[in-house]
Amino acid sequence: MKGEYTFKARELGALALVVLALLIVVFFLGVTVGERHERARLAQVEEGSRRILPIRTETGGLPPARKAEVDRAGAKVKAKAEGEAKSKAQVKTSVPPKVVLKKGYYIQVGAFKDESRAEGWWGQLKKKGYRALVLYSSARGVYRVVVGPYSSKELAVRVARKVDRVFKVRSSVVPDSKLR
């Protein structure tokens, strides 16, 4: 037949090898781009300093010898509460300002008496890309590990289900007003 070209087995094999080679090149380019993106995301997560935020400073501040770093608008405010008796002026300057949580819903992953356990959970959540915070409640003497904020309760519930599945925990969704 005129105008038709029939492929020979050898030509089909060569064509298949070329297509396979192109697919492999595209795959490795995608992996390289993905790794670069992941490294940039992890660097951004690492860049964020560890935050332990006091949420009830008006009821006694932080426990003795507790240091807290609060990052506000790019400026770090370091506060150190000493267990020793100091003059009133010195005590007032050593208590960090009350943290204003953003409005929305938060996922409480856990509440711990032990700060190191709270920091461990914070690190695991940050590693997976969640916006995690550790909030210290002096009224209860616990470190709350929360993720958020989320604009709607429905969105927070969806993310909470994923957190529960990934970390094998039973988290709860709480409005920002319950964390104050």
Domain ranges for the chain, please list them. 1-47, 52-179
Whole-number pLDDT of residue 75: 34
Read off the pLDDT of each residue in 70-74 and give the average, rounded to a whole number: 35
Helices (H), 48-152: 88-94, 115-127
- List own/partner pairs for 44-53 with CB under 8 A and 24 or more apart: 45/126, 45/127, 45/129, 48/126, 49/76, 50/119, 50/122, 50/134, 51/133, 51/134, 52/115, 52/118, 52/119, 52/134, 52/135, 52/136, 52/143, 53/99, 53/133, 53/134, 53/135, 53/136
Mean residue pLDDT across the chain: 74
pLDDT at 82 over 80: no
Architecture of domain 52-179: 2-Layer Sandwich (3.30)
pLDDT at 163 over 90: yes
Read off the pLDDT of each residue in 154-166 and give the average, rounded to a whole number: 94
Place of tokens 């697919």: 23
Read off the pLDDT of each residue in 88-113 and give the average, rounded to a whole number: 68
Is pLDDT larger for residue 85 or for residue 142? Answer: 142
**At 152, is the pLDDT very low, low, confident or very high (cuts 50, 70, 90)?**
very high
pLDDT at 76 over 60: no
d(CA 63, CA 60): 8
Is pLDDT larger for residue 125 or for residue 43? Answer: 125
Q: Collect all residues with Cβ–Cβ distance below 8 Å to 86 and sequence separation of at least 6.
A: 94
* Number of alpha helices (DSSP H) and beta strands (DSSP E) in the chain: 4, 7
